[in-house]
């Protein structure tokens, strides 16, 4: 019995150590991005609190930028990193928070689908609007998803 308890205790310690390492790795990655001179995400601000999505190159640029609260979505709302971030290979998402996070437009072209990769505007709309729509269907609090100016700032 004592041997089983010791084994269980060691297993719990190993699991806690692994979880701690993963949390530290994710925090270190966040700090690395926040302090980077040139953040690689879609942003005009080098931090992870607020990201301004203001991409250029759309065929028709009729709407203003979107202010995205990255930290609130991740921490307060509990949105998994993998819900938005991805790096697909053979249909499997291989992206990890401790790896490289590329700017969305590195793979998604602004105004056209290329090699079965949807364009940037469709990609943002699919991730954001569909997530908010699903939350609304579940009768959960959500951000806007029906009208453009719920997310987009009015163009000056």
Cα of first residue to Cα of last residue in the chain, in angstroms, is 72
Return d(Cα 44, Cα 13) in angstroms, integer.
42
Q: What is the pLDDT of residue 15?
A: 83
Kindly state the tokens that stand for 17. Answer: 């150590």
Helices (H), the chain: 2-35, 70-71, 81-84, 120-137
Return d(Cα 152, Cα 155) in angstroms, integer.
8
Beta strands in 44-140 (DSSP E): 51-53, 66-68, 88-89, 92-93
Q: What is the pLDDT along the chain (156 residues), one digit of tens a residue?
A: 888 888 888 888 888 887 876 666 666 555 555 444 333 344 444 567 888 888 777 777 678 888 889 999 999 889 999 999 999 889 899 999 888 888 888 889 988 899 889 998 889 989 999 999 999 999 998 888 888 888 888 877
Q: What is the pLDDT of residue 39?
A: 37
Q: What is the pLDDT of residue 36?
A: 42
The position carrying tokens 């987009």 is 152
Architecture in CATH for domain 2-150: Alpha-Beta Complex (3.90)
Note if the pTM is more than 0.75: no
């Amino acid at each position: 019995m004592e041997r089983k308890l010791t084994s269980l205790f060691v297993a719990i310690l190993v699991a806690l150590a692994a979880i701690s390492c993963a949390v530290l790795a994710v925090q270190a990655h966040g700090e690395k991005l926040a302090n980077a001179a040139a953040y690689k995400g879609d942003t005009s601000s080098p931090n992870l609190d607020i990201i301004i999505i203001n991409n250029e190159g759309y065929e028709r640029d009729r709407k203003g930028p979107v202010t995205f609260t990255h930290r609130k979505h991740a921490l307060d709302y509990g949105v998994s990193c993998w819900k938005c971030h991805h790096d697909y290979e053979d249909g499997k998402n291989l992206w990890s928070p401790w790896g490289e996070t590329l700017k969305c437009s590195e793979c998604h072209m602004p105004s056209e689908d290329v090699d079965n990769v949807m364009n940037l505007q469709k990609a943002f709309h699919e991730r954001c609007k569909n997530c908010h729509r699903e939350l609304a269907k579940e009768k959960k609090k959500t951000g806007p998803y029906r009208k453009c100016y719920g997310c987009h700032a009015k163009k000056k």
